Amino acid sequence: MVLVDNHVAALHRRLLDRTWDKSDPKDAHNLCDLLEQGRVLFCTLPDEPVASLRRLVRLLRRARVELGACKARWQNTLRPALGPAGEPLPAPVITALPAPLRAFLPAGERRGAPGRSRVLPPGVAAEVADLAARVTAVRGRIATLDAALVVATAPLPATAWLRSIPGLGPTLTAIVLAELGDITWFPKFSSCGSSRASTFIRVQSGQWAGTARISRCGRPLLRWALYQAALGACRTPAWRAKRAALLTKRQGTHTPFFKTIVELAAKLLRVIWGVWRSGRPYTAGQAGAPAA
């Protein structure tokens, strides 16, 4: 992370080739030149074990994207070739599918009556076997990376503090630690919330005010992790009561459940910041968390 002064960057950009134009290659050249000369306000490079955590998180994200591609390939290519769209697959076809692909079916279809497996056409059978092997390999990689993340987060003191927060399991804790980096960078929660996760913005002009929406600033993977953690936290009585109160307030609006979970995710980030900065495990009512 490198922080430079905007005025210094603009003047130095002009010195590079005596032009005011702005482009991505020129910005990169400008920043590297300023860093080499020491004309920066702040510079940090994550060291171990945060650097290893970020590498593992990147690998895990790529593996999950590949698993999503496998699901899309099943839904868009193979599933229509096995039966009419919108209708359940026949029991013999379900029996002929490998176990990794049967997991993609709805629960009602998987519980269908077993029957003799149907012989699939050679081309479809080869594609089914190839996709099943790919899904098995990707899931194995995900399990391996999850285990490596647990080992990498074990020596960090913040791991135990964050694991005490409802909704944060081993994988989500590792993602939060990797994406936030060092909590000392954020002496105030406003800097952490605005630059790293979901914040709500509203476009206003005169007497007109638009609908509040997510600013989408910061790191998208952290937003995803906070959203998943908020869903998990709502399994506890205190956060479930908070969700019910927010849903009641948003009745009649568009997508009330999604907006409620996003608001709880932003609140959960405040809890994470407070617990991490205090160095103490989570207790209900601490750091802005809803009391039971």
Q: pLDDT tier at 87 (50, 70, 90 boundaries)?
A: confident
Q: Is there a contact between 195 and 217 (Cβ–Cβ < 8 Å)?
A: yes
Alpha carbon separation from 221 to 46, 59, 178, 196 (Å, rounded): 18, 13, 10, 10
- How far is 222 from 245, CA to CA, in rounded Å? 25
* Summary mean pLDDT of the chain: 83
At residue 7, the pLDDT reads 87
At residue 74, the pLDDT reads 92
**Residues β-bridged to residue 205:** 208
At residue 161, the pLDDT reads 92
Please indicate whether residue 119 or residue 101 has the higher confidence score (pLDDT). Answer: 101
- Dump pLDDT digits (tens) for 107-117: 777 765 566 77
- How far is 98 from 91, CA to CA, in rounded Å? 13
